[in-house]
Amino acid sequence: MDTPEFLVWAIEYACPIRGLENGSDPERTERQLRAARAVGDARQQGRVFDGLCLDPPNGFRIDEALAIYGGPTVVEQACGHCPANAIENLYAASLAGCYGIVPLPLDPSPVYAAVERGIELAYPGALWSGLFSATSPRWYGLWLQSPLAAEILLSLFRVLEAAPIEDHICRAAVKELLVGINTAFNAGCRLHVSLYPRGHVAGPWWRLAPHCPRCKAEWRGSHLQHCRVCNYEGHPAPDRKRHARGNRPYFPLDRLLGAERAAEFLSRYEAFRAQRVSMVPEQSPPPPVPPNNPLAD
């Protein structure tokens, strides 16, 4: 499976369910909070039944997944009035809405072009010069100064808000990022970002394409001594393979419940879903489910 280039962001903030992670390492923050976020998403989208979060044919028990934080009550209290819970501004009662993932399409060039257009619209002429590091495309320069704070957050917000991104998955993820930027700015917090190049998952392993250790752009040309995107002088980042994340915290229901019980459970769940839809015919569509990402465990 090929994985696209993607960005992980996290608001710098300390809270009980983050443990030792304060957001300064977005990958570790995502890993720490993904179970809580999965419960919040499932509740929002009506995918909770008999104490399980479901994404057939997979699921997980809520109490077991949230035990690492001290249980559902601890998570709900920590996230309920948290100033860093940005996603709650989009979807009520969201949990762990202080981080996010922005996946680019497998062909990211339309997103690069949209960001270029966003810069032209938000900062016409020479107004852009000096705000961010110079790269080509300028998408990569947006993320080189992590952590981002104060006026830089405001500039980033203006560019992304103006960028005409057409890919619906990327556009939805950027919408969440914009709320994260706005939340961090209003709360006086810093926003940490990590960019990952495209990669490939084979079996349990995830391997990234050769890339620049500075801007994370794909390294073009094996004999070059500099990055064509940010002009970094040197060599590509060392090759490193990681364990792919898979679908955690979701597991196949037949492993969780046994094959016979899982089939019976799914039958009852589908009947529940059908009844729920028939009772609320004008129900608005749920927010998009973020795509799985291969962040290492």
Return d(Cα 237, Cα 131) in angstroms, integer. 26
What confidence score (pLDDT) does residue 290 get? Answer: 42
Closest CA to 193 of 224, 160, 147: 147
For 232, list phi and psi in degrees, rounded to 5.
-60, 135
Closest CA to 206 of 101, 297, 99: 297
The residue type found at 32 is Q
Token readout for 274 is 């059908």
Give the pLDDT means over successive 10-residue stretches in the chain (297 positions). 95 94 95 96 94 96 97 96 94 94 96 97 85 95 95 96 97 97 96 96 91 94 83 91 85 95 94 78 44 48
What confidence score (pLDDT) does residue 289 get? Answer: 41
What confidence score (pLDDT) does residue 280 get? Answer: 55
- Nearest-Å Rg of the Cα atoms of the chain is 20
What confidence score (pLDDT) does residue 97 get? Answer: 97
Return d(Cα 150, Cα 153) in angstroms, integer. 6
Return d(Cα 92, Cα 248) in angstroms, integer. 24
What confidence score (pLDDT) does residue 215 get? Answer: 97
Domain residue limits, the chain: 2-209+242-279
